[in-house]
Amino acid sequence: MGAAFGGHLEVMQWLRGTPLFTSAQHGHEAVVRALIKVGVDVNQLKENGMTPLHVTAVNGRETVARVLIEAGVEVNETEIRGTTALFIAAQHTYPAIVKMLRDAGAVLDVTLDVTKET
């Protein structure tokens, strides 16, 4: 994460993807806040349609999910198979994230396309 704080965003992208995705995945709230402060798009998409919010839902990163929601992340964005962060948080049994997403306006109805792979 030092590379992101040091301003070497290209190094982070080369290593494992965008700094926001990596920070969200590992629960680095301070880095996520710093990236948002410098204007990083909280709604950026990976090739599979996942957003940083999806990554926080998969990994149970409550504090990062809260930061992303406060920054205006789209809570109903779907990844390639049609799953939302709410669906993922419920599937992985992270009730605090489920509540946070519901309070932020996440909808419950989801249509999955199980023929697509992530």
pLDDT of the chain, 118 residues: tens digit per residue: 444 445 555 544 444 568 899 999 999 999 999 999 999 999 998 888 899 999 999 999 999 999 999 999 999 999 988 899 999 999 999 999 999 999 999 998 766 555 555 4
CB-based contacts of 39, cutoff 8 Å, min separation 6: none
Left if phi > 0, otherwise alpha if psi is -120 to 50, otherwise beta: which for 93?
left
9-42 per-position pLDDT tens digit: 554 444 456 889 999 999 999 999 999 999 999 9
Domains of the chain and any CATH numbers: 2-103 (1.25.40.20)
Predicted confidence at residue 4, as pLDDT, reads: 47
